[in-house]
């Protein structure tokens, strides 16, 4: 059974790779689905490693590599597609990566690649996390899965939960550029954010986590995909209430 957590992590890499292919093909709903499967594996591998008592340095490094694909590369590619859509004045378009090759305009061809700043910032965040020994029950900076969830929620809002206002906002290139820069900053910011991991289940020790989860559930039930950006930004806002004590890093970003 010792191999089981690493096998789940490898499934994370597989699902993230499939999500990347769908993102390049501009099948963003499918990219979101396989991203979600990858994030589920990201949760399960750490849970299984703790339960089986088989945590290892290999598992930690493998988990980080999986996060780089699923929560680093995928959101960067999705942002590229969204930026390409914003320049095409519509969201039901051919893949940016295929269409860009047919364009003569420098602006249109290269501007959407700005979305890959998210991938670069995710790589920096993961590398810093791997060598950081000053985190206990909290993270410094927005975790890559939370950031990726923010980006992946945008096409889902467009397809299933949008309005004229939200669609025009999401497909505004300057909004997307600002979001890309904000996302890249939050990944590597000094914000202290709690980790959704429980050493015990008492409300006294986990009150902020329980309140956050309850509010998130209510928002999801009422606003559906529109709730995701609010939840992630609200999560970032909890930095004002997080613990400040240093210590060894929690396993997994």
> From the first residue on, what is the mean pLDDT of each consecutive set of 10 residues in the chain (253 residues)?
85 96 94 96 84 78 92 97 82 68 67 94 91 68 94 94 88 95 94 74 74 91 92 82 48 61
Q: What is the pLDDT of residue 181?
A: 97
In a domain, 103, yes or no: yes
| Token digits of residue 208 | 């902020």
In a domain, 133, yes or no: yes
In a domain, 92, yes or no: yes
Q: What is the pLDDT of residue 198?
A: 63
In a domain, 245, yes or no: no
Contact yes or no for 83/155 (Cβ under 8 A)? no
Q: What is the pLDDT of residue 248?
A: 42
In a domain, 18, yes or no: yes
| Token digits of residue 35 | 């991203």
Q: How many structural domains comprise the chain?
A: 1
Q: Where are the alpha helices (DSSP H) in 89-202?
A: 96-99, 106-110, 117-131, 144-156, 164-170, 173-187
In a domain, 251, yes or no: no
In a domain, 193, yes or no: yes
The CATH number of residue 10's host domain is 1.20.120.1760
| Token digits of residue 203 | 């409300």
The boundaries of the domain holding residue 152 are: 4-240
Q: What is the pLDDT of residue 106?
A: 61
In a domain, 8, yes or no: yes
Q: What is the pLDDT of residue 25?
A: 93
Torsion sign, CA atoms 177, 241, 220, 43: positive
DSSP string, 40-56: HHHHHHHHHHHHHT---
């Amino acid at each position: 059974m010792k191999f089981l957590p690493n096998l789940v992590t490898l499934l994370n890499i597989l699902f993230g790779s499939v999500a990347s292919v769908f993102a390049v093909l501009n099948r963003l709903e499918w990219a979101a689905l396989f991203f979600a499967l990858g994030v589920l594996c990201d949760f399960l591998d750490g849970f299984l490693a703790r339960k089986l008592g088989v945590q290892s340095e290999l598992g930690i490094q493998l988990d980080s590599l999986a996060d780089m694909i699923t929560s680093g590369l995928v959101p960067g590619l999705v942002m590229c597609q969204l930026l390409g859509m914003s320049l095409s004045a519509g969201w039901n378009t051919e893949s940016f990566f295929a269409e860009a090759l047919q364009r003569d305009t420098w602006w249109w061809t290269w501007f959407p690649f700005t979305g890959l700043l998210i991938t670069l910032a995710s790589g920096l965040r993961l590398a810093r996390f791997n060598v950081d020994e000053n985190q206990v029950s909290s993270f410094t900076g927005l975790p890559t899965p939370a950031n990726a969830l923010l980006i992946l929620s945008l096409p889902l809002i467009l397809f299933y939960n949008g309005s004229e206002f939200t669609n025009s906002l999401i497909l505004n290139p300057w909004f997307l550029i600002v979001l890309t820069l904000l996302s890249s900053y939050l990944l590597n910011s000094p914000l202290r954010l709690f980790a959704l991991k429980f050493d015990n289940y008492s409300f006294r020790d986990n009150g902020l986590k329980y309140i956050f989860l309850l509010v998130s559930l209510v928002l999801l039930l009422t606003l559906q995909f529109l709730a995701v950006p609010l939840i992630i930004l609200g999560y970032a806002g909890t930095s004002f209430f997080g613990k400040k004590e240093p210590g060894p890093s929690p396993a997994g970003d």
